[in-house]
Amino acid sequence: NTRITAIMNPPFGVQKKHADRFFLKKAFSISDVIYSIHMRSEKVQRFVKNYAEQHHWQIDYILPYNMVLEKAFPFHTKLRKKINVDVYRIIKKK
Q: What is the pLDDT of residues 43-75, one digit of tens each?
A: 999 999 999 999 999 999 999 999 998 888 888
Dihedral through CA 54, CA 55, CA 61, CA 63, nearest 10?
-90
Adjacent-strand bridge partners of 85 = 39, 65
The CATH number of residue 31's host domain is: 3.40.50.150
Q: What is the pLDDT of residues 3-43, one digit of tens each?
A: 899 999 887 766 677 788 999 999 999 999 999 999 999 99
Sign (positive/negative) of CA torsion 19, 8, 55, 85? negative
Per-residue pLDDT for 86 more than 80? yes
Look at the chain and report how many structural domains it folds into: 1
Please return the burial class of 64, using the count of CB atoms within 10 Å of its CB with bins 0-12, 13-18 and 19+.
exposed
Give the domain range for residue 38.
5-92
| pTM, two decimal places | 0.86
> Residue 57's pLDDT is what?
98
